[in-house]
Amino acid sequence: MGHHILKRRLDLGLQQKQAAMILGTGAWNLRNWETGRHGVQTWYYPRIIEFLAYNPLPPAQTRGQAVRRERMSRGWSRRRVGREAGVDEATVRRIEADTVGLARKPLVRVLRALGIPW
């Protein structure tokens, strides 16, 4: 993720402090992302996607990956998805892990909450 942000920042001719203000974080945090010292917290993803003008998350190959990609693109925690879908956080985690044998009802609830076709 950091190299996407760095490339875009340099393409726009922005200093770290300027880009950090756009992203709603501090320059030190942006520096850590760009150097790969720390991962990006989920709640920053919507702003980063807007800043980049594309979604840098890899395309989903499985239903669980689709759930994770959509959740992160929205900046939602697993807890928030669970709350929106009426399931617990652990169920969301199992769905994202593509656990075999999950009950259909919670899966459908999560997919609907995220607007993912099932």
At 90-116, the pLDDT tens digits run 999 999 999 999 999 999 999 999 999
Q: In the chain, how many domains are there? A: 2
Indicate whether 92 belongs to any domain.
yes
3-state secondary structure at position 53: coil
The rounded mean pLDDT for the chain is 96
- For residue 118, the model assigns a pLDDT of 80
Indicate whether 72 belongs to any domain.
yes
Which residue in 36, 35, 40 sits closest to 57, CA to CA? 40
CA distance 77 to 104: 21
Domain with 94 in it: 63-114
Flag whether pLDDT at 6 surpasses 90: yes
Indicate whether 15 belongs to any domain.
yes
